[in-house]
């Protein structure tokens, strides 16, 4: 299994541009998450999904959108990028039905800079 994969690894955007961060998992996990990690800080939850067609806001959803049309994919859309969105973005997945409940498996991250 490839686990959780994210593309791209790095991206530089200009203010006002839009982009989609891709996340895919091949573990048949039904829960997927998007986080951002600012330098020297912990992770903050942006959006999460408990299954295809179901998404919910996390702690910091403003400026982002998500969709979940399949179990495998959970893209994160940035509209009108702002410098405050400069961060490292991590996608994660989990399978709460097993005994480790919501233990999350993380992708390698996307480092985004908005100039």
Partner 1 sequence: ELKVEQNPLFLSMQEGKNYTIYCNYSTTSDRLYWYRQDPGKSLESLFVLLSNGAVKQEGRLMASLDTKARLSTLHITAAVHDLSATYFCAVDIDNDMRFGAGTRLTVKP
Distance CA 35, CA 23 (A): 12
Number of residues that bind partner 1 (CB under 8 A): 26
Residues 23-52 that bind partner 1 (CB under 8 A): 31, 33, 35, 41-45, 48, 50
Q: Closer CB to partner 1, residue 74 or residue 90? A: 90
97 binds partner 1 (CB under 8 A): no
Q: Omega into 50 within 30° of 0, i.e. cis? A: no
Q: Does 68 bind partner 1 (CB under 8 A)?
A: no
């Amino acid at each position: 299994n490839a686990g959780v994969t994210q593309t791209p690894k790095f991206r530089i955007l200009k203010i006002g541009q839009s982009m989609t961060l891709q996340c895919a998992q091949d573990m048949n996990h039904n829960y997927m998450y998007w986080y951002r990690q600012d330098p020297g800080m912990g992770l903050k939850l942006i959006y999460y999904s408990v299954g295809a067609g179901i998404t919910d806001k996390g702690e910091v959803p403003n400026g982002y959108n998500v969709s979940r049309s399949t179990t495998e994919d959970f893209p994160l859309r940035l509209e009108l990028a702002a410098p405050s969105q400069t961060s490292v973005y991590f996608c994660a997945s989990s399978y709460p039905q097993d005994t480790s409940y919501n233990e999350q498996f993380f992708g390698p991250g996307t480092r985004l800079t908005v100039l």
